[in-house]
């Protein structure tokens, strides 16, 4: 496992806190309302709900791309209202994001895309080339390190996006449907990467509609429906969802670790 590269991510506490938050886009209706939640440093949460429930919008507020139209959002102990551009940029450096639509830079290779957060934060050093290679190999892209994103499949691009999100050992990892383009075996492998990151201190928040993954990994789940939290823990009552598909791959992974 490539987690030597993630060592020492433990450190400063991360924290997400929403107090009666609402969000509307422009003059439209509130698409999120009465959202109150708190994610403690080092915790791991799933955010579940049907398409259109508001998962991506909630994550957008967590990485400061969107401000609430009502209520208060606190990140790392800072109220995000009134942050300067510079302060926003500094906070963002502590957050790794896997966007639902990947947002890779098409003119940079997979390797360069993954290395970008290290370069931006000034963390690139002689070790980082090796770290990038190790991580790309772990996500199954050893043969595609010098490929440009447009030549990669959706699942391959998603894995580059995941590698880019974790390479900087963020305090907070936000992943929006990070396994949406992956087969079950690869999805489980990637979730184990997030588990390892979490063990060394990263607070992890994963939006997904994949109930079998939520059941398998047994972290608290916040369920959204029509823009409201309907249950703080979706693992209860999820028995009807078959997890046979990922079961085999998960036990194989466990056996190997």
Ligand X SMILES: Nc1ncnc2c1ncn2[C@@H]1O[C@H](COP(=O)(O)OP(=O)(O)O)[C@@H](O)[C@H]1O
For position 246 contacting ligand X by CB under 6 A, the verdict is: no
Q: Which does 122 bind (CB under 5 to 8 A by kind): ligand X, Mg ion, none?
A: none
Give the contact letters, 22-51, x = binds to ligand X (CB under 6 A), - = no.
Answer: ---x--x--x-----------------x-x
Residue 166 CB, shortest distance to ligand X, in Å, is 21
Total site size for ligand X, rule CB under 6 A: 11
Q: What are the beta bridge partners of residue 19?
A: 72
Q: Which of 18, 39, 45, 57 binds ligand X (CB under 6 A)?
A: 57
Residue 117 CB, shortest distance to ligand X, in Å, is 23
Closer Cβ to Mg ion, 56 or 74, answer by number: 56
Helix H or strand E encompassing 176:
strand 172-176
Q: Which does 178 bind (CB under 5 to 8 A by kind): ligand X, Mg ion, none?
A: none
Determine the straight-line distance between the first and last CA of the chain, rounded to whole angstroms: 9
Q: Which does 25 bind (CB under 5 to 8 A by kind): ligand X, Mg ion, none?
A: ligand X
Q: Which of 4, 13, 36, 52 binds ligand X (CB under 6 A)?
A: 52
Helix, strand, coil % in the chain, rounded to nearest 5: 40, 20, 40
Give the contact letters, 32-71, x = binds to Mg ion (CB under 5 A), - = no.
Answer: -----------------------xx---------------
Residue 248 CB, shortest distance to ligand X, in Å, is 29
Closer Cβ to ligand X, 109 or 222, answer by number: 222
Closer Cβ to ligand X, 48 or 110, answer by number: 48
For position 55 contacting ligand X by CB under 6 A, the verdict is: yes
Residue 229 CB, shortest distance to ligand X, in Å, is 13
For position 241 contacting ligand X by CB under 6 A, the verdict is: no
CA distance 34 to 18: 9
Q: Which residues bind ligand X (CB under 6 A)?
A: 25, 28, 31, 49, 51-57
Q: Which residues bind Mg ion (CB under 5 A)?
A: 55-56
């Amino acid at each position: 496992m490539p987690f030597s590269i993630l060592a020492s991510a433990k450190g400063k506490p991360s924290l997400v806190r929403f107090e009666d938050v609402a969000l509307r886009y422009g003059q439209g209706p509130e698409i999120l309302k009465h959202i109150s939640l708190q994610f403690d440093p080092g915790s791991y949460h799933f955010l579940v709900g049907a398409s259109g429930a508001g998962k991506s919008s909630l994550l957008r507020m967590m990485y400061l791309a969107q401000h609430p139209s009502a209520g208060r959002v606190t990140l790392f102990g800072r109220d995000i209202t009134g942050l300067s551009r510079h302060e926003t940029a500094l906070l963002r450096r502590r957050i790794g994001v896997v966007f639902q639509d990947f947002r890779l830079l098409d003119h940079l290779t997979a390797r360069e895309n993954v290395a970008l957060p290290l370069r931006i934060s000034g963390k690139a050093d002689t070790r980082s080339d090796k770290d990038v290679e190790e991580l790309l190999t772990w996500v199954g892209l050893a043969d595609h390190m010098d490929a440009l994103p447009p030549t990669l499949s959706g699942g391959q691009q998603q894995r580059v996006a995941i590698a880019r999100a974790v390479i900087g050992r963020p305090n907070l990892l936000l992943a929006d449907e990070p396994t949406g383009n992956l087969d079950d075996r690869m999805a489980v492998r990637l979730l184990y990467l997030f588990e390892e990151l979490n063990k060394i201190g990263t607070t992890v928040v994963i939006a997904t509609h994949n109930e079998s993954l939520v059941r398998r990994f047994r972290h608290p789940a916040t369920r959204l429906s029509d823009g409201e939290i309907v249950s703080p823990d979706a693992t209860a009552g999820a028995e009807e969802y078959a997890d046979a598909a990922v079961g085999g791959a998960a036990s194989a992974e466990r056996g190997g670790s």
